[in-house]
Amino acid sequence: MKIETLAIVGVGLIGTSIGLAARRRGLAGRVVGHDCRTTALDTARSRGAIDAATSTIAQAVGQAQVVVVCTPVEQIANHVIESALAGAPGTLVTDTGSTKGAIVADVEARLPPGVNFVGSHPLAGSEKQGAEHADAALFEGKVAVVARTPRTDPVALDQASGFWTSLGMRVRLMDPREHDWALAVTSHLPHLTAAALASVLPEQLHELAAGGFRDSTRVAAGEPAIWTGIFTQNRSNIRKALDSLDLVIARFRTALESTDQAEIAELLARAKKVRDALGN
Amino acid sequence: MKIETLAIVGVGLIGTSIGLAARRRGLAGRVVGHDCRTTALDTARSRGAIDAATSTIAQAVGQAQVVVVCTPVEQIANHVIESALAGAPGTLVTDTGSTKGAIVADVEARLPPGVNFVGSHPLAGSEKQGAEHADAALFEGKVAVVARTPRTDPVALDQASGFWTSLGMRVRLMDPREHDWALAVTSHLPHLTAAALASVLPEQLHELAAGGFRDSTRVAAGEPAIWTGIFTQNRSNIRKALDSLDLVIARFRTALESTDQAEIAELLARAKKVRDALGN
């Protein structure tokens, strides 16, 4: 895959990392970036992630064959539509949002003809934010979910898949709603428990929070505004995932109350089996 | 501090790492190890963590000025008493258990005269087990809790503190019950949530469990038998810590149910503040 001009809307950690990776891998001849924050644009340009910065989405998109919208989830649908309205016929627009159901449904209801949209979610990131933490290797070896719906154009689906593959990712096609349930379990629920764990740590115990606590709560350092949008868009699935978690926690609680060592051991063994299967 | 002979009872990850660290730092002239598992003893010796292996605790302790008991928490009190009975007058016995209240109370009720015991808990470890994963640098820069009770001998307390300091640790003196409450929050509760999170991950979603899930559940790979002992000994405190966690989770749940974005943002911001304060 080779893109003459790639437009990136939103040059935070993800957008800037895409620019860096596309440049390093020779995927795009030229990368144009837009962001409403000029400091982010300056950082992205000084890091070599974008060749040019534009002050409007239309300016960035007008020159591009592929547009990646990397803004917070609650803004993505509008930015995709704005991109589509400014795009030349045949332009492919995709995104990087951590939720897919609401975004894809909203975009498909409003997408102007001539431009293709395929929702995406590269499963790569960091609890650190901003263009300054971007990393050209962020996507290598990771999974990108590409959302397929009955309305998805097959050629555009191939193009979007090829885009992520070119950045070193493995692509998994999923229905947007299936994605949102999966991510509620694999990402949003751990974020919630990490935040809850961090919240119950009193200051006088900070010194005693060792590696286990730090690992378990690392994602809680993520940007609250970003995650408020994700939690809000995926709230039903997160509640369902929380119900599943509560059942296991309740079993632990009962086992602790009754000093049921066999049950504690079984719960821990079951968890270890899953965690071991994931590897590092 | 310089110990002529150091005895290590239990050469798993922690015991073997202590041997390696004591050798590297010139803390002990000689290190003798005991374990009921001969393969662990072989590994510890081949890695240079111990000079000699003994088939009984008494043989190891008889030659030592300092004894460190590094066995699972439910065995520690008995191993300390066995060490004390075999130790020469003035021998210092300490341990590395992740719980302190039950162990220290049990030992203090049974300790023979002439030998000193000071409970310890070096806050260092790994989800990996065994002498083969031991690391001479495991303790460097970490915190060791040293348990102080009304019955603790002040000279022995200094010796035990000096032992951990010599391994590169910062020492914090705590009442055993205070330790157990603190560790319920900083270590045992995160272990429980990590195990619960791992348990709710169905196999078809393994591929979608990215860095956040892996970090949040890393400790769930810990050895179930070891952690069953810890959970059992500290069950009351863990239940109390779980109560605190449940209150925060309930606030998240209510906020998700009512789509209360301000509340979600506040909960996440509060968590981020704590997590940021911990650093990496």
CB contact under 8 A, B268 and A224: yes
Are residues A271 and B220, on separate chains, in Cβ contact within 8 Å? yes
Helical packing angle, A189-199 and A235-257, nearest 10°: 60
pLDDT band at A238 (very low <50, low <70, confident <90, very high): very high
What integer is the mean pLDDT of A117-128? 94
Could you read off the pLDDT of A136-181 as tens digits, one per residue?
Answer: 999 999 999 999 999 999 999 999 999 999 999 999 999 999 999 9
Which of B 151-180 lie inside 8 A of A, CB atoms?
A: 172
Stretch A256-263: mean pLDDT, rounded?
A: 98
Average pLDDT on A56-63 reads: 96
pLDDT at A280: 85
Among the partner-chain residues B186, B210, B274, the one whose CB lies closest to the CB of A210 is B186
pLDDT at residue B102, rounded to an integer: 97
Neighbouring-strand partners of residue A171: A144
Percent of chain A predicted with pLDDT > 90: 98
- If you average pLDDT over residues B58-81, what whole number do you get? 97
Percent of chain B at pLDDT > 70 equals: 100
pTM metric for this prediction: 0.95
Give the residue from A128, A135, A235, A280 with the most B CB atoms within 10 Å of its CB, the best one to mutate. A235
What's residue B19's pLDDT? 98
Distance from CA of B212 to the nearest CA of A (A): 6
* Beta carbons of A143 and B253 less than 8 Å apart: no
pLDDT at B213 over 90: yes
Which of A73, A133, A201 is best to mutate for the B interface (most B CBs within 10 A)?
A201
pLDDT tens, position by position, B135-168: 999 999 999 999 999 999 999 999 999 999 999 9
pLDDT at position A126 is: 87
Helices marked H in B48-199: 57-62, 73-86, 101-110, 154-166, 176-183, 189-199
Mean pLDDT to the nearest integer, A242-258: 98
Cβ-defined contact of A214 to B280 (cutoff 8 Å): yes
Q: Which stretch of DSSP H or E encloses residue A187?
A: none
Q: Do A245 and B272 touch (CB under 8 A)?
A: no
pLDDT at A148: 98
Tokens found for residue A107: 């975009």
Whether A261 sits inside 8 A of B232 (CB atoms) is: yes
Distance from CA of A26 to the nearest CA of B (A): 26
A224-233 vs A101-110: helix axis angle to the nearest 10?
70
- Sheet order of strands, A120-122 included: A120-122, A143-147, A170-174
Q: Which residue of chain A comes nearest to B194, CA vs CA?
A: A216
Q: Which residues contact B242 (CB under 8 A, 6 or more apart)?
A: A249, A252, A253, A256, B189, B192
Of A231, A245, A274, which is closest to B256 when you measure between CB atoms?
A231
ipTM of this complex prediction, to 2 decimal places: 0.95
Distance from CA of B50 to the nearest CA of A (A): 26
Minimal-distance CA residue of chain B relative to A185: B201
Residues A153, A119: Cα–Cα separation, whole Å: 12
* Helix (H) / strand (E) containing B32: strand B28-34
Candidate from B123, B199, B276 with C-beta closest to A210: B123
Alpha helices in chain B (DSSP H): 13-24, 38-46, 57-62, 73-86, 101-110, 154-166, 176-183, 189-199, 211-217, 224-233, 235-257, 261-278
Averaged pLDDT, B169-187: 98
- With b for 16 or more beta-carbon neighbours within 10 A and e for fewer, the A87-126 pattern comes to beeebbbbbbbbbbbbbbeebbeebeeebbbbbbbbbbbb
Closest CB to B199 among A242, A259, A274: A274
pLDDT in tens, B248-278: 999 999 999 999 999 999 999 999 999 999 9
Three-state secondary-structure class, residue A72: coil
pLDDT(A256) > 90: yes
Q: Is the pLDDT of residue A115 over 90?
A: yes
Token digits for B67? 């004894």
* A 217-276 residues with CB < 8 A to B: 217-225, 227-228, 231-232, 235, 238-239, 241-242, 244-246, 248-249, 252-253, 256-257, 259, 261, 264-265, 267-272, 274-276
Whether B253 contacts A239, CB under 8 Å: yes
- Taking only the tens place, the pLDDT of each residue in A20-34 is 999 999 999 999 999
Could you tell me the pLDDT band of residue A104, with boundaries at 50, 70 and 90?
A: very high
The percent of residues above 90 in pLDDT, for chain B, comes to 98
**Each residue of A177-223: pLDDT tens digit?**
999 999 999 999 999 999 999 999 999 999 999 999 999 999 999 99
pLDDT(A227) > 90: yes
Closest-CA distance of chain A to residue B183, Å: 7
